[in-house]
Amino acid sequence: MIHMTKKIVGITCDIKGKFFESEIIYSQKVIDAGAVPFYLPMDTTKKNVSKIAACLDCLIVTGSRDIDPSFYGEKKSRSINELDKDRTLSELLYINIMKKKNKKILGICGGMQLINVAFSGSLYQDIELNILKSINHNSSSDSKKGVRHTIRIAPDSILYRFFGKSIGTVNSYHHQAIKVLGNSLIVSAKSKDGIIEAFEDKSGRVLGVQWHPELSKAKSDFEVFKWLIEQ
């Protein structure tokens, strides 16, 4: 009898003093999808991250933070939330190393934005300040209170397989967004104000979603995690 080993999914964390932290729901979704979650140490040494990445089958780059605009060649505006440079440096190492190994990468909300930066893209530092006539993407300054809005999904995208239609509804908790799309990335979905809500790369091994599928009970959102652990 052949015993199939479960995929190991690396999950990036925040740095809180002497702790690495991440929300429990990420690991629960990975377990439900049939894989083994591994919360990653946010190491900033390439040699160490390479050793860790060698043990992983795929990667989730999580949300819940802003990115220092210096990483995409801009100066910080007054609208930027608390930043963690070491977390960003570590996540960029994981993204680049996993990409070189052709292992799947899923970016969620701020994680999607960071993948875009890793692929030489840039961000709007604040949607309300930078985008005229934008819809509401985060109903409160309290990041725990989001909104729901529709997205238009590209018919030939990975995402279309999950939703099975060109219009979907997603949750939304962000105040930043993609400005210039990174190299080799393809838009998979947009909101009605033109903001990029999802992308994939040309190899089909990288997927970024601007919303939080881990907070949803919809089958279409759970398919995101099932995609991650597929071959």
Question: Judging by beta carbons within 10 Å of its beta carbon (0-12, 13-18, 19+), is residue 217 exposed, middle or buried?
Answer: exposed
- 26: left (phi > 0), else alpha (psi -120 to 50), else beta? alpha
Q: What is the structure's pLDDT at 140? A: 54
Q: Is residue 177 part of a domain?
A: yes
* Catalytic member of 149, 174, 175, 212: 212
Q: Say whether pLDDT at 1 is over 50.
A: no
Q: Is residue 16 part of a domain?
A: yes
Task: Please tell me the distance from the alpha carbon of residue 149 to that of residue 158, in angstroms, as a whole number.
Answer: 20
Q: Does 214 participate in catalysis according to the annotation?
A: yes
Q: Say whether pLDDT at 68 is over 60.
A: yes
Token pair in block for residue 104: 């799947």
Q: Is residue 3 part of a domain?
A: no
Q: Does 197 participate in catalysis according to the annotation?
A: no
Q: Is residue 144 part of a domain?
A: yes
Q: Say whether pLDDT at 4 is over 60.
A: no
Q: What is the CATH number of the domain that holds 18?
A: 3.40.50.880
Q: Is residue 155 part of a domain?
A: yes
Q: Which residues contact 25 (CB under 8 A, 6 or more apart)?
A: 214, 215
Over pLDDT 70: what percentage of the chain?
95
Q: What is the structure's pLDDT at 205? A: 97
Q: Is residue 181 part of a domain?
A: yes
Q: Is residue 2 part of a domain?
A: no
Q: Does 91 participate in catalysis according to the annotation?
A: no
* Reported confidence tier of residue 186, pLDDT bands at 50, 70, 90: very high
* Reported confidence tier of residue 141, pLDDT bands at 50, 70, 90: very low
Number of domains in the chain: 1
* Catalytic member of 91, 109, 149, 200: 109
The domain of 34 spans 8-228
* Catalytic member of 91, 197, 200, 214: 214
Q: Is residue 1 part of a domain?
A: no
